[in-house]
Structure 1
Amino acid sequence: MSECQDGWLRDRWQRSARTVAATAAMSVASVVLALGTMVGQAAAGVSPAERGSLNAALAAPAVSSVAAGYAHTCAIRTDATLWCWGSNYSGELGDGTTTSRTTPVRVGTATTWAGIEAGSSHTCAVQTDRTLWCWGSNLRGQLGDGSTTNRTTPVRVGNATTWASVSAGDSHTCAVRTDGTLWCWGFNRLGQLGLGSSVYYLVAPAQVGTATNWVGVTTGFAHTCATRADGTLWCWGDSSSGQLGLGSLSYATTPAQVGTATTWTGVTAGYTHTCAVRTDRTLWCWGDNGYGQLGVNTTYQTTPTQVGNISTWTGVNAGFDTSCAVRTDGSLWCWGNNATGQLGDGTTTNRYAPTRVGTATTWTSGLVAGYHTCAVRTDGSLWCWGNNANAQLGDGTTTQRSTPAQVTLPS
């Protein structure tokens, strides 16, 4: 990310820490989501505005996944091409420039992109050959290419061909390999790499511990969480708002198990809060709650707290001050900070409990990031809403949206 953004985020984090210590309150995080809609059910489950774009959705190139950073968005089409748009101050769009884009631009010529992840101002992606590539801001070595030089086009991370998934945070990155090992690099001021406190930052991947049963990892502003094949959940890094779920406000520099449950199926780290789903489809959140991003009307929580009594949640994602989740009936729900309409409910009112986004019942899974939200439907159409100051909604404007608006990628 830019030095200006870095300073803003750092100052904000410091203010949040002081708020917790002084008032036993709150936190931050928001949302960007990738999800889906069945073609046969689309007309019946959308708002009039969404319905007006249905024909265009059917004609537009289909999207398989989407990721959003602080002010940029990237998506992979079903033809495995990669497209990005929005802020490009540090080269996070990967198109060889630092020019911001109001509509999607293609990243290179490769047709082998398999997975995409966006941090605050850097982006990483895995190709079908299991190679890993990153680009954008590299001030703290978060690109993992052995340098601290920003990159405007994708650069390969090492020479491994066993990368399974990657997660990009603010200034650090972590990834899991097909052998179940976990690797992190970038900024480590608060132990977010899980490698102890002796390292300030790393410019290349380093293995976290010796475990070989990691199945997923998620990175927040300065904390990291990951799940293992045995269903246990582990977190480390900053816990100034309780976002590690360990029952305290003390940070941890190596992975620490969250409780004793062995039923965690997925976890997502926001700015200073965390949410996760269990095998019984219950939803749990913890950490800062200044905007209601935990989905419960309480102060910050240092241990997992159940969100309502619903047991139909399939997935959740957390970002800056906001969280979004999908239920088994395909409905999408968001809560927390809504200052820029990122909850998608047509208002700018913060919500302390899950609030439904429209009436569609065909959303699938999601992704989260800055103050905007994006979602993919099962027909492959892409929708975004919320903050658009940097054209991160990809609709050719800088107009803020409080309800989902379709994004059309070039043919």
Structure 2
Amino acid sequence: MAGAATAILIGLIVAGFAGTTGAASAAAAPVRAEVASGYAHTCAIRTDGGLWCWGSNSSGQLGDGTTTARATPARVGDATWVAVDAGTGFTCGIRADASLWCWGSNTRGQLGDGTTTRRTAPVQMGTATGWATVSTGDSHTCAVRTDGTLWCWGFNRFGQLGDGAVVYTATAPQQVGTATNWANVATGYAHTCATRTDGALWCWGDSSAGQLGLGLLSYQTTPAQVGALTSWDTLTAGHFSTCATRTDGSLWCWGENGYGQLGVTGTYRTTPVQVGTDTGWAGVRAGLDTVCAARTDGSLWCWGNNTAGQLGDGSTTHRYAPVRIGAATNWTADVAAGFHNCAFRADDTLWCWGDNASGQLGDGTTTPRPEPRQVTLA
């Protein structure tokens, strides 16, 4: 959930909670800073490839071999990682050799290891080493391989695995159709959206709040194209909503809007609606009912649910339009959003704010923070 001047921002767009990499050909990612937030835990990759996690650990989602919560970052082994994403109570990441690993809650097979056994340390997804991006939802996971194929596994009650609802739960990866030009994927609570290398956007799964962007309020069990445009770029999925940028820098959202997470006033939207008129958006990240996005000028903006101060504006007021976080102009597009939010700046410093009941802000306390605070990864 996934990962800063224009060239820097575009280069650092996160792959993740929902994957926000652009619609380009899938390929193994280089090592770079990346952050992901789950329901109450956080994981981040430093530019040296080290992976660090902290916060809630009741299901082993921190990957340290225990179920002990941590209020400060703890390193996950000594491997070199290139991508990470955090689901509700589990985590998945890709190593430098393009192997895929997952850990934490596995009640619905979301770890993809063929079981429903909880894992407190990373377990490899088979023996394949061709994984490019991964996105973790509430109880399902999807990932794109370097050959452009798309795979999903876990819970499938609403067809979020894209297989026509043939299975109810899949404990191992299964391919979504036969296309080999998938670029990026984003998983929500029970829906999935993905872009192809031609810039087309496809969604499937639950659409009870219009989160598929297909103009319907039911569900879709196989991928369906969202409109006819082929200019979609970065992509993210929240709890019951979806947001994406286009190649012209405009930002669009759709789905449930009870907290203003679509960046507009009014109720749910079943088709994409533009957020303002600005065309300088570099990347977007949604988590639960909160959304954050960076602009090409290095500013960071958030909107939606603000119950725990996760919008970073010093208040707990929900916002139906983007509100700027401070005056800094060196935020990257590598943002993680949810009840707590985190983001990297161009100087590779990591900042977190919002809910902190399980120590997910990494500052050694359980005190909520309505404004960004720096996190030390050491």
TM-score (norm 1): 0.84
The answer (yes or no) to whether the contact 2:336–2:343 under 8 Å persists in 1 is no
Deviation string 1:66-97 (CA, Å, 9 cap, x unpaired) is: 11100000111122111100000000000000
| Moved segments of 4+, more than 6 Å | 32-36
SS at match of 2:167: coil
- 77, 82, 87: which one aligns with 2:51: 82
The letter of the residue matching 1:77 is R
Please report the RMSD computed on the Cα atoms of aligned residues, expressed in angstroms.
1.7
- 186, 199, 207: which one aligns with 2:154: 186
- Residue of structure 1 equivalent to 2:213: 245
- Residue of structure 1 equivalent to 2:223: 255
| TM alignment of 1:232-381, pairs within 5 A | 232-381=200-349
The letter of the residue matching 2:84 is I
SS at match of 1:399: coil
Q: 2: CA distance between counterparts of 1:251 and 1:177? A: 26
The structure whose residues are more often strand, as a share, is 2
Corresponding position: 1:102 with 2:66 = no
Question: May I ask how many residue pairs the two structures share in their alignment?
Answer: 355
SS at match of 1:216: strand
- Residue of structure 1 equivalent to 2:358: 390
Corresponding position: 1:131 with 2:132 = no
Deviation string 1:284-338 (CA, Å, 9 cap, x unpaired) is: 0000000000000111000000111111111111111111111111110000010
Q: Which has the larger radius of gyration?
A: 1
- 161, 173, 183: which one aligns with 1:205: 173
- Residue of structure 2 equivalent to 1:28: none
Question: Compared with structure 1, are the counterparts of its residues 380 and 360 closer, same or farther at alpha carbon in structure 2 (3 Å cutoff)?
Answer: same
Q: 1: CA distance between counterparts of 2:305 and 2:32? A: 27
The answer (yes or no) to whether the contact 1:285–1:307 under 8 Å persists in 2 is yes
SS at match of 1:325: strand
Give the drift of 1:198.
Answer: 2.0
The answer (yes or no) to whether the contact 2:4–2:298 under 8 Å persists in 1 is no
- Residue of structure 2 equivalent to 1:64: 33
Give the drift of 1:247.
Answer: 0.4
Deviation string 1:321-356 (CA, Å, 9 cap, x unpaired) is: 111111111110000010100000111111000000
Structure 1 portions without partners, runs of 5+: 1-31, 37-61
The letter of the residue matching 2:262 is L
Give the drift of 1:192.
Answer: 0.5
Corresponding position: 1:403 with 2:339 = no
The letter of the residue matching 1:70 is Y
Q: 1: CA distance between counterparts of 2:161 and 2:296? A: 34
- Residue of structure 2 equivalent to 1:53: none
- 42, 51, 60: which one aligns with 1:73: 42
The letter of the residue matching 1:90 is S
- Residue of structure 1 equivalent to 2:15: none
- Residue of structure 2 equivalent to 1:57: none
The answer (yes or no) to whether the contact 2:99–2:130 under 8 Å persists in 1 is yes
Corresponding position: 1:154 with 2:122 = yes
The answer (yes or no) to whether the contact 1:313–1:325 under 8 Å persists in 2 is yes
The answer (yes or no) to whether the contact 2:59–2:89 under 8 Å persists in 1 is yes
Give the drift of 1:273.
Answer: 0.4
Deviation string 1:193-241 (CA, Å, 9 cap, x unpaired) is: 0011121010100000000000000000000000001110000000000
Corresponding position: 1:164 with 2:111 = no
| TM alignment of 1:32-47, pairs within 5 A | none
Give the drift of 1:63.
Answer: 7.6
The answer (yes or no) to whether the contact 1:95–1:152 under 8 Å persists in 2 is yes
The letter of the residue matching 1:84 is C
The answer (yes or no) to whether the contact 2:190–2:205 under 8 Å persists in 1 is yes
Q: 1: CA distance between counterparts of 2:366 and 2:46? A: 23
The letter of the residue matching 1:302 is T
Structure 2 portions without partners, runs of 5+: 6-30
Q: 2: CA distance between counterparts of 1:101 and 1:407? A: 13
Give the drift of 1:35.
Answer: 7.0
Give the drift of 1:366.
Answer: 2.9
Q: 2: CA distance between counterparts of 1:165 and 1:361? A: 28
Q: 1: CA distance between counterparts of 2:2 and 2:327? A: 16
SS at match of 1:367: strand
- Residue of structure 1 equivalent to 2:26: none
The answer (yes or no) to whether the contact 2:156–2:167 under 8 Å persists in 1 is yes
The answer (yes or no) to whether the contact 2:356–2:367 under 8 Å persists in 1 is yes
Q: 1: CA distance between counterparts of 2:50 and 2:303? A: 32
- Residue of structure 2 equivalent to 1:177: 145
Give the drift of 1:364.
Answer: 1.4
The answer (yes or no) to whether the contact 1:63–1:75 under 8 Å persists in 2 is no
Q: 2: CA distance between counterparts of 1:396 and 1:206? A: 40
